[in-house]
Amino acid sequence: MTRKFLDNVYDHIGKGIETFYDDWADTYEAEVGENGYVTPARCARALAAHLADKAAPVLDFGCGTGLSGKALRANGLTTLDGMDLSKEMLAKARAKNLYRSLHQIAADTPLPFETGTYSAIAAIGVIGPGAAPLDLFDTLLAKLAPSGLFVLSFNDHALEDPAYAAKVTACAEAGSMRVLEQEHGPHLPARNINSTAYLLEKL
């Protein structure tokens, strides 16, 4: 029987996450596809609607096998760089020929680009239980160029912890960014899991 990684992805917090996603790489797209994964398309539409220069470099952070990159390209965004922890996921993304560059990164190390390099960063399905920690929100927002756009999503598992929504509220109230779009909608419809997609502008 084929292992169903979605059944225990939310148990893999922190330790062993790279290995977990390496092991999942071969079946990831089939498994999320059969569950109707639509968050990348929702986030890509939001970013494309607000990004005036469709040729501007966009960082697809936590790009995985390239599903988010595929959605971003489908919405007219043509210059994509991808970063991910998983070597095997990146190999799948590389085969799609969607990205200008792809880099493997390591947890708890500085991100390999200068602040202001990107005027748009996507972290679609990246921050939450079984994936990246919430403090990545602050790191990516800080790395954006002034007036840059940040598109991300928190699924229902993340939103069970009030700290996730509170992070967005606190940053908006502090004046470090403003919310351009916020929509709660389908994530994995076959599993009745939704997500909130956010489109933020750095101030």
Report the share of the chain in percent with pLDDT over 70: 93
Going by C-alpha positions, the residue among 6, 30, 26 that lies closest to residue 125 is: 6
How far is Cα 151 from Cα 149, in angstroms, rounded to an integer? 7
| Per-residue b or e along 43-80, where b marks 16 or more CB atoms closer than 10 Å to that residue's CB | bbbbbbeebeeeebbbbbbbbbbbbbbbbbbebebebb
For position 2, what pLDDT does the model report?
47
CB-based contacts of 70: which residues, under 8 Å, 6+ apart? 40, 96, 98
Per-residue pLDDT of 27-54, as tens digits, reads 999 999 999 999 999 999 999 999 999 9
Neighbour-count burial of 37, counting CB atoms closer than 10 A to its CB (0-12 exposed, 13-18 middle, 19+ buried): buried
Per-residue pLDDT of 145-171, as tens digits, reads 999 999 999 999 999 999 999 999 999
For domain 8-202, which CATH number applies: 3.40.50.150, 3.30.2020.30, 3.30.1490.100, 3.40.50.720? 3.40.50.150
For position 17, what pLDDT does the model report?
80
pTM tops 0.75: yes
How far is Cα 140 from Cα 117, in angstroms, rounded to an integer? 11
Per-residue pLDDT of 8-20, as tens digits, reads 555 545 557 888 8
Per-residue pLDDT of 97-112, as tens digits, reads 999 999 999 988 899 9
Residue pair 24/134 in contact (Cβ under 8 Å)? The answer is: no
Question: In the chain, what are the domain boundaries?
Answer: 8-202
